[in-house]
Structure 1
Amino acid sequence: MQDQRCTKYTDCASCDFYQKQIFKYRQYPKGMSIPQERVLQNTMYFLLKGEVRVNSEEHPDTFFREGQFIMQPIGSRVEFHILEPVEAILYLFERPQNICNDRHNKGMSMASGGHIGSVVMDLCAPMHTFLSGMRAYLDSDLRCSVFLQSKQTELLFLLNCYYPIKDLAAFYSTIYRYNKSFQYFILQNYQQVKDVEAFAQLGGYSISTFRRMFKETFGEPAYQWMLKRKCQDIQTDLLTTELSVSDICYKHGFESLSNFSHFCRANFGQSPRAIRAERENV
């Protein structure tokens, strides 16, 4: 009888839940240089094979080898020089998630008061197992957002359970330094404001300064970025949560269900209830 255990029957790429921006698998040949570029999301780089020389403010002229991982915070600039052929998995995220109040609070306290220097972490055995599985899933293009979010939680538990809090505090310290930065101000508050003018006022910026800084940081106009995020958040809530349509409507700042329905039809071509119904038909 033919062994069917590794046959994948689901085409995730055609699904509304398809997600490219949580985990990525990358290969680079020896001698390749990746020029300095701005990091648009907090990123952990897990090196499965090879050797890399990293150059950034957080990791100045640092050698990064197989079985190790590093962090680059949002807004930082980094360049890579591939010294030996590389296979790597990248994990991209907007903010550290709190999965344990006690360790989270202790870590934040330690990180905010500690010296920020280059931190290169070693993979423990459970992390090796996790990353081996992630590579297989990414190779199979298994990118369901619900599945990848569960793997994200698994990764965070592995970090939390198998690494000393002192090491984790140092590892995350670069992110805590950015907590008061413009990037984090945007990511932490974009759901709380209705328009660009209110956003600028919330941060104490003039409209022109806010627009300029936003375009320089995120590479597109503030209004366009905010609209995309609002659409993504609404679609996620409709497709992946148990919130009622009314709750989603008011959560995202709409004054009435009719306004919310008009927004969904204009941006998705469907009413919110029709989008919700898609989940029931999957």
Structure 2
Amino acid sequence: MKNILYSPEHQACFNYKQDSNHFIQVKHCASTSEWSHTVQTTEVVILLEGSAHISFDFVLNKELKKGHMILFAPGTQFKVRTQKGVSILLLPVQESIRQCYCFSMYQLKAVKTSKQEYPGVLGVKPVIQTFIQELTQNLAGGLLCTGYMKLKTEEFLILFRAYYTKEEQATFFYPVLHENSSFTDFILKNYRQVKKVNEFAQLYACSLSNFDKKFKKAFGISAYKWMKGKKMELIYHEINTTNKP
């Protein structure tokens, strides 16, 4: 596809590639290379070409191939290793965006699924493939408008709602299916900055008792146990994916 017309006008607009929380991009990794990434907002990772092994949390060297996609929650650190090269589409998803006006992704919490199915790797269906082809062509042509990317994100969620079963959706969105979206979004984005629960409560400008009540309601366990588990995940990930002793 040719480049967009009047590109200087688009680039001068304040919406042009400004909001990193909505910026969709294609990442190319050369053969025999590694790439580490920390997720800032909920992000869908789709393999466009090639294959790779992805490590994150307690998951080591999960093989993903062309046509596979996976979702990561904010704060997740993952490492990509590829032998023959890989192209990856990174599509940020704001949790507050509904899959459609009549159905919120949080309603998927009621759908029975097993945590053992996580990570929920799904295949890209033909309708999503068509969506991806148009999106990547426009990105390559210079259409880097934040407004366009927000619309494409909403379109992706609507297509996902229309063509995947509720069980597939629940497994895929499992990492971000919580009760209080704004609170859990704050937790996932900031838990690496603090060492203790009382520091977290101070950061949220909340008393320790109220913070813990809010936390238990959102995550189902105490903040202390949750943070301890996250530290274990981080240590396990770094021992197995870095040179740290």
The TM-score, its normalising length taken from structure 1, stands at 0.59
Please say if 1:200 is aligned against 2:200: no
Return 57-66 or 41-50, whichever deviates more. Answer: 57-66
Which residue is 1:17 aligned to? 15
Which residue is 1:89 aligned to? 89
Aligned pairs, number: 193
Contact 2:70–2:122 (8 Å) recurs in 1: yes
In terms of fraction of residues, the more helix-rich structure is: 1
Higher relative contact order (CA 8 A, sep 6+): 2
User: Hey, what's the Cα distance between the residues in 1 that align with 2:178 and 2:77?
Assistant: 15
Give the deviation of 1:48 after TM superposition.
Answer: 0.8
Which residue is 2:68 aligned to? 68
User: Hey, what's the Cα distance between the residues in 2 that align with 1:30 and 1:178?
Assistant: 41
User: Hey, what's the Cα distance between the residues in 2 that align with 1:57 and 1:9?
Assistant: 44
Structure 1 unaligned residues grouped into runs of 5+: 189-195, 206-212, 214-282
Q: What is the RMSD of the two structures over their aligned residues, measured on CA atoms?
A: 3.2
Contact 2:3–2:142 (8 Å) recurs in 1: no
Contact 1:52–1:82 (8 Å) recurs in 2: yes
Q: Say which SS state the counterpart of residue 200 (structure 1) adopts.
A: coil
Which residue is 1:32 aligned to? 33
Contact 2:54–2:60 (8 Å) recurs in 1: yes
- Going from structure 1 to structure 2, the CA distance change for 1:86 and 1:187 (only over 3 Å counts) comes to closer
Contact 1:103–1:165 (8 Å) recurs in 2: no
One-letter amino acid of the counterpart of residue 14, structure 2: D
User: Hey, what's the Cα distance between the residues in 1 that align with 2:75 and 2:144?
Assistant: 26
After TM superposition, where is structure 1 displaced by more than 4 Å over at least 4 residues in a row? 177-183, 196-199, 202-205
Contact 2:29–2:35 (8 Å) recurs in 1: no
- Going from structure 1 to structure 2, the CA distance change for 1:102 and 1:178 (only over 3 Å counts) comes to closer
One-letter amino acid of the counterpart of residue 26, structure 1: K
The TM-score, its normalising length taken from structure 2, stands at 0.68
Which residue is 2:149 aligned to? 148
Contact 1:52–1:65 (8 Å) recurs in 2: yes
- Going from structure 1 to structure 2, the CA distance change for 1:67 and 1:178 (only over 3 Å counts) comes to farther
Contact 1:75–1:183 (8 Å) recurs in 2: no
Calculate percent identity across the aligned residue pairs. 17
- Going from structure 1 to structure 2, the CA distance change for 1:7 and 1:181 (only over 3 Å counts) comes to closer
